[in-house]
């Protein structure tokens, strides 16, 4: 059963948004582009693994693809979270080629392609961090202590796995995608007792969807990008000039002379992805470079955004992102 379908991952949408809002000569652009390319390639490979997951495990687990959580200080992006009465299983997917070394002695993970060696965040440390968060979430919400296990899947047939100091227990939880169908049953055999009822399982599913939170701001912190680095204004939908102006209830591009009724939609999306999942009239006015509070208010009310609060304390927010 699918608890949450996979859509374009929020990290990809955020990276695309960030590139739209940084100057062409910003020192972090190359690094951000590299991460975006890597994540886009990974997303394509994950879609294939999703099919395997659903065919192999869809009758046993409720499957949540690409789910995001936050505890206020840290964000947790989980590729796949599977829950059943016996087990919560985190499946982290990596689409990387070359020689991949898991070095538990130094808590390192690095890739060697030809003569080039490049380090990345350690997937084992990352997934164990997610494991701790899910255990804490279950306890804080008074669910029975269902075991939380994990599996790291390397979804590239050309990758070669190398282990340094990695314990047998951890090594058994790292595999290539072609042996994925063998590893999951091995983990299931460890956890055979039903811990959580079907009623609580449905309750937990609703909670997970409710807590699913876009990782807003995390990319800015990751790349140490200042708020002043983010370009404001509304893009032209045709030539992508920034900023365009508001003229007679339409947006006008001084570069290509085109008009648009809804160019502000992308600007709102950028704000939600980069800053906050809610926006006031003043915040939108400043971000879209609109001079009139009445104009910005009319634009916000014309969207299908939800609202809360009144007058200057009114916030506009989307039900979901993408919106």
pLDDT for position 323: 67
Q: Please check whether residue 134 is in contact with residue 90, taking contact to mean a CB–CB distance below 8 angstroms.
A: yes
CATH level 2 (architecture), domain 232-317? Orthogonal Bundle (1.10)
The closest alpha carbon to 43, from 90, 80, 85, belongs to 80
| Domain definitions of the chain by residue range | 2-218, 232-317
Q: What pTM did the predictor assign? A: 0.76
pLDDT of residue 239: 96
Q: State the residue for tokens 């990345």.
A: 120
Report the distance separating Cα 305 and Cα 323, nearest Å.
Answer: 9
Q: In angstroms, how far is the first alpha carbon of the chain from the final one?
A: 25
Q: What is the pLDDT of residue 216?
A: 67
Please report, for residues 51, 61, 133, 267, the alpha-carbon distance to residue 146 in angstroms, rounded to integers and kept in the order given.
26, 13, 13, 42
The pLDDT of residue 262 is 96
The pLDDT score that the predictor gives to residue 217 is 67
Question: How do strand 99-103 and strand 160-164 relate by DSSP bridges?
Answer: parallel
**What pLDDT sits at residue 36?**
94
pLDDT at 228: 93
In which order are the strands placed within the sheet that holds 245-247?
A: 245-247, 250-252, 259-260
The C-alpha atoms of residue 240 and residue 238 are separated, in whole angstroms, by 6
Per-residue pLDDT tens digits of the chain, which is 323 residues long:
777 766 788 889 999 999 999 999 999 999 999 999 988 887 877 776 777 778 777 788 999 988 989 887 788 989 899 999 999 999 999 889 999 999 999 889 999 999 999 999 999 999 999 999 999 999 999 999 999 999 999 988 899 999 999 899 999 999 998 888 889 999 999 999 999 999 999 999 999 999 988 766 678 888 999 999 999 999 999 999 999 999 889 999 999 999 999 999 999 999 999 998 899 999 999 999 999 999 999 999 999 899 999 888 899 999 877 66
Residue pair 217/272 in contact (Cβ under 8 Å)? The answer is no
Note the pLDDT of residue 129. 95
What pLDDT shows up at residue 81?
95
Instruction: Return d(Cα 231, Cα 23) in angstroms, integer.
Output: 7
Residue whose structure tokens are 């956890």: 191
Beta strands at 108-113 and 116-120: parallel, antiparallel or unpaired: antiparallel
């Amino acid at each position: 059963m699918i608890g949450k379908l996979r859509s374009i991952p929020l990290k990809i949408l955020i990276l695309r948004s960030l590139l739209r809002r940084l100057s062409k000569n910003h020192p972090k652009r190359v690094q951000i582009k590299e991460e975006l390319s890597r994540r886009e390639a990974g997303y394509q490979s994950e879609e294939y693994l999703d099919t395997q997951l659903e065919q192999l495990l869809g009758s046993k687990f409720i499957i949540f693809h690409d789910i995001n959580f936050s505890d206020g200080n840290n964000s947790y992006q989980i590729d796949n979270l599977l829950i059943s009465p016996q087990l919560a299983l985190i499946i982290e997917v990596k689409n990387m080629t070359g020689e991949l070394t898991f070095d538990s002695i130094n808590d390192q993970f690095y890739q060697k392609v030809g003569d080039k060696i490049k380090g990345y965040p350690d997937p084992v440390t990352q997934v164990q961090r997610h494991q701790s968060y899910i255990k804490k979430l279950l306890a804080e919400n008074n669910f029975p202590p269902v075991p939380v296990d994990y599996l790291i899947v390397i979804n590239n047939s050309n990758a070669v796995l190398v282990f340094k100091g990695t314990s047998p227990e951890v090594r058994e939880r790292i595999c290539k995608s072609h042996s994925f169908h063998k590893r999951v049953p091995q983990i299931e055999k460890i956890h055979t007792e039903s811990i959580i009822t079907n009623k609580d399982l449905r309750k937990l599913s609703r909670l997970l969807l409710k807590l699913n939170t876009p990782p807003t701001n995390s990319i800015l912190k990751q790349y140490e990008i200042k708020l002043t680095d983010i370009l404001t204004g509304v893009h032209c939908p045709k030539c992508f000039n920034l900023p365009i102006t508001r003229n007679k209830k339409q947006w006008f591009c001084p570069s290509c002379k085109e008009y648009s009724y809804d160019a502000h939609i992308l600007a709102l999306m950028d704000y939600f992805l980069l800053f906050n999942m809610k926006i006031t009239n003043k915040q939108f006015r400043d971000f879209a470079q609109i001079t009139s509070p009445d104009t910005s208010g009319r634009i916000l009310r014309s969207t299908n955004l939800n609202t809360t609060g009144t007058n200057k304390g009114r916030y506009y927010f989307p039900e979901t992102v993408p919106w």
